[in-house]
Structure 1
Amino acid sequence: MLSCFGLFLSEDLQFSGPANGAVGGSVVFAPDNPPSTSTDSVLWLFESTPILSVQSGSTVIFSAYRDRVSFDINTLALELRNLRLDDSGTYKLTVAPSAGAQLTGETTLQVYENITDVRLIGPEESLIEGESSVNISSEGTGSILSVQWMKDNSPLSPSNSIIFSSDNRSVSISPVQRSDSGEYQCTYRNPVSSETAKLNLIINYGPEDVSSVVSCVFIIVGGGGGGGGGGGGGGLSSGAIAGIVIGVLVAVAGICGLITKMCPKINLPQNGPARGGMFVIYSQYLHEYVIETTQFTSQE
């Protein structure tokens, strides 16, 4: 009822809604319900500054808008070109029909700078799972009204380890996890433009994902000659050899464990669990013990 009453009361000119424009672009203001009869006079204003007037069929464009506006007397549409930021504001239209009461209407314009040169700045050093922290910051120019973050094409949300800055233009992750690997996207937006920047983040896994191969070969040569009857007085007894073997096994296991811990953490895929094997080979003919310790990744 109020809507109908309002339209009936004044029959004012109606506009679809606020207009948005980009710097350097153009916009058209046109009433949705222009008068059906001819008009005696038309006046377009920006705030209180006249843009153009029409009297007795003669159109006058004021100097501040010369070469920037066009006018259609039939639709009362005003086109404003080469938009500037200071064109933002209220535009008013007043029409005096040849018959009937004066009609008025107004609309608003907001001019924005186009968004350009958006980029993401990430870490230069390698990132280690569970140890490293990372900060990804964004930059760009233009009228920035909103900033949206995505990871692998899904919205990136804050959590205990993911924290956004107050202006939403940077994100910190501490500590990083392997699940943080992926493509990060940041989009700057305003009503007339948007631009997206992307950054790939790689997290290096911990020891359980390291495929290392360490081989330690020890050859202990026993004394004595071949398998014949006499001689061999300089050879080691079986008990002595067994003791040496056990001692070497313990030493090798410790050394290989130390080497594994000291290996740099790298991100290598593996098809099966890491396994270790220790083998003792005794050659009766050579009187040698060969102890080989190997860690390897099975290809299952």
Structure 2
Amino acid sequence: MLRGLKPWQRFAFTSLRPQIPVAAMSTSTSIPDHGLDSLPVSCPSELSKEELSRFPAFRVWFATLQRSLGRQKHPSHEFHTDPFVLRKIDVQAVDFFKGGRLGFVKLKVDVSNASGESLPGSVFLRGGSVGMLLLLQPDDVPSASENDKWAVLTVQPRIPAGSLAFSEIPAGMLDDSGAFAGKAAEEIEEETGLRISQSELVDMTSLALQSTDGSEDGETLQKAVYPSPGGSDEFIPLFLCDKRMPRKDIEALQGKLTGLRQHGEKITLKVVPLKDLWKEGIRDGKTLAAWALYTGLKRDNKL
């Protein structure tokens, strides 16, 4: 079983598939599934209120925001005397993946108080992703040695970053298929060719948050890192797989072509010394976060 697994984590994560832009012609509606009857909500004509209300990313984002706004009721909260309220949601654009599955949603929300002060409300809604720190160690060295560990990176095109060769740890998007653990191992196999059992996975974010999250007066966010909280809801739980295997098998991974190439995944593997991971993955936030979590958890004897 995955350690620290939460209900929202019982999604499968799959690689990003090409999306089809949809024009944003708006019609007003409300979403009774979430008790939003009195809240103005506008959607593109191609997106129904039922589709939006069923979209897992929207449900998680809305529930999280409502919990945080609800904390203002406490007298000790900074905004208690003039609380902020969610007053309106405008869906400006949507992208669908192949097969018609809702992929990305761009929102503009009005969160303001009685004094007329507003909080920034542009949201790129894409839901959660999962990152995997996959460490390999030759089985001919002592298992306690950190100097002989190697990290697996994937190098692939990332058009949003303007790159055709972006280095990052293996990762994938969450969806609503309901079989997270099995699909996590499946994704690693697709991207690296390695078979990983569920028992080999450690949820580093959940482990690190055990002593800091869930305090009585603190916000209840996802047990994950948020790479761009100023513009996106994306959250990324980071998992560790620390695996021993023959040295020749580790060497054979260097430069290996992997991924579902028939779906546009053009992945090349790059195996780097663990000590150099922070330099090799310096442009990727989840890679640096995974390295920092691993380093901190090791230092505190939690791994």
Relative to the length of structure 2, the TM-score reads 0.21
**Quick one: higher RCO (CA 8 Å, sep 6+), 1 or 2?**
2
> Whose helix fraction is larger, Structure 1's or Structure 2's?
2
Relative to the length of structure 1, the TM-score reads 0.22
Greater Cα radius of gyration, structure 1 or 2: 1
> Whose strand fraction is larger, Structure 1's or Structure 2's?
1
